[in-house]
Structure 1
Amino acid sequence: MIYFNLFFTFFKIGLFTFGGGLAMLPLIQQELLRKNWMTVPEFLDLVSIAQITPGAIGVNSATYVGNKLCGFWGGVTATAGVITPSIIIILILSAILIKLKGNVYKDAFFFGIKPITIGLISYAGYTIGRDTYFIDHKISITPILISIFAFIILRKFKTNPVYIIFLSAITGIIFL
C-alpha cells in the first residue's frame, strides 16, 4: 500500500505543478508534512540534497523521499510517479502545439501562466527562507549572510553555482 501511496502522491504533485521542480516544493512540503513522512528539518535537508545533486529537483526529491521511506524500490516508485504526468502531458501538448503555432490563444495562455510560475517559485523561496532564517523562533544571521553572499557572487561574477554550493556547505560546517 505504501508503494501506491508514494506513486499517487508524487503523480499528483507532478500533475498539478507547473514551473518545474522549484515550483513543486510547496506541494511536496505540504504532502510530506501532512502524511508525516518527514519533519520540517528533514524537508529542509531534502531540499538541500535535491539542489546539489545532478538532475531535476522534483525528481531528486521524489527519489530521496521514496528511498527514505521504502528503500530502492520506493525511490523508483516515487520517481515514476512524479515523471509520469510530465511524459503524458508533453506527448499530448507537443502534438497540439505544433498545430497551434502562432495561435493567439496559445500565446495568451503562456502569457498568463508565467506569473503563476514565478509566484510558486517565490512561495517556495519564502517557506524555505522562513524555516532557514528563523531557528527556534530567533533570527539566525549566518544563513542570511550566506544567502546574500551567494546572490551577490552569482549575480555580479556569474560564478558557477557548484562553487557557491561547495563554499556555502563549508561555511555552514564551520559556523554551525
Structure 2
Amino acid sequence: MLYIQLYAVFFKIGLFTFGGGLSMLPLIEKELLLREWMTRGEFLDLVSVAQMTPGAIAVNSATYVGNDLLGFWGGIAATAGVITPSIVIILILATILMRCKGNVYKDAFFLGLKPITVGLIGYAGYTIGRATFIKTPPSGIVRFLSDYSVNYPAIGIFILAFIVLTKTKINPIWMIFMSGILGFVFL
C-alpha cells in the first residue's frame, strides 16, 4: 500500500510543478515533512545527493526517497510516479502545440509561466540557504531571536564558491568537491 502512496505523492509532485527539478523541491519538502518520511536534515542531504548525481534532480530525488523508504522497488515506484505526468503531458501538448504554431494565447501562457518558475526556484534557494546559513538550537525550541546563530563558515564557503564559479571556468564538479572538503574542515 505504501508503494501506491509513494507513487501517488510523486505523481502529484510531477503533475503540479513547472520549471524542472529545482522548482519541485519546495513541494517535495512539504510532502516529505508532512508525511514524516524524512526530517529537514535528511531532506537537505537528499537535495545535496540529487544535485551531485547525474540526471534530473526530480528523478534523482524521487529515486532517493523511494529507495530510502522501501528499497529498490520503492525507488522504482517513486520514480515512475514523478515521470508519468511529464510523459503524458508531453504527448498531449506535443499534439496540441503542433496545431497551434504562432498562437498569441499559447505564447502568452508560456510567458506567464516564467515568473512562477523563477519564484519557485528562488523559494527553493531561500529554504536551503536558511537551513544552511542559520543554526537553530539543538532542542528545536526557539523562544528568542538570539537563540539562532549565523553559520559564518558556511556563508564564507558559499561566497568563495560563488566568486570562483563566476570568475573562472572551473568545472562545477571540482567546486562541489572542494566545497565538501572545506565544509568537512571548517564545519
TM range (shorter): over 0.9
Number of residue pairs matched by the alignment: 176
Offset, 1:159: 2.5
TM-score for both structures, normalised by structure 2: 0.92
Distance 1:141 1:50 in 2: 25
Distance 1:159 1:96 in 2: 42
Gaps in structure 1 of 5+ consecutive residues: none
Distance 1:58 1:148 in 2: 26
Alignment-mate amino acid for residue 46 of structure 1: L
Identical-residue share of aligned pairs (%):
67
Match of 1:159 among 167, 170, 174: 170
Deviations 1:108-147 (A, max 9, x none): 1111100000000000000011111111221101111111
Q: Which has the larger radius of gyration?
A: 2
Alignment of 1:43-54 (within 5 A): 43-54=43-54
Deviations 1:58-81 (A, max 9, x none): 110000000000000000100000
Distance 2:3 2:38 in 1: 16
Q: Which has the higher contact order (CA 8 A, sep 6+)?
A: 1
Gaps in structure 2 of 5+ consecutive residues: 137-147
Offset, 1:9: 0.3
Provide the alpha-carbon RMSD of the alignment: 0.9
Distance 1:138 1:43 in 2: 21
Alignment-mate amino acid for residue 48 of structure 1: S
Alignment of 1:62-101 (within 5 A): 62-101=62-101
Offset, 1:149: 1.6
Q: Secondary structure at the match of 1:36?
A: coil
Distance 1:30 1:163 in 2: 31
Distance 2:79 2:58 in 1: 9
Distance 1:63 1:88 in 2: 20
TM-score for both structures, normalised by structure 1: 0.97
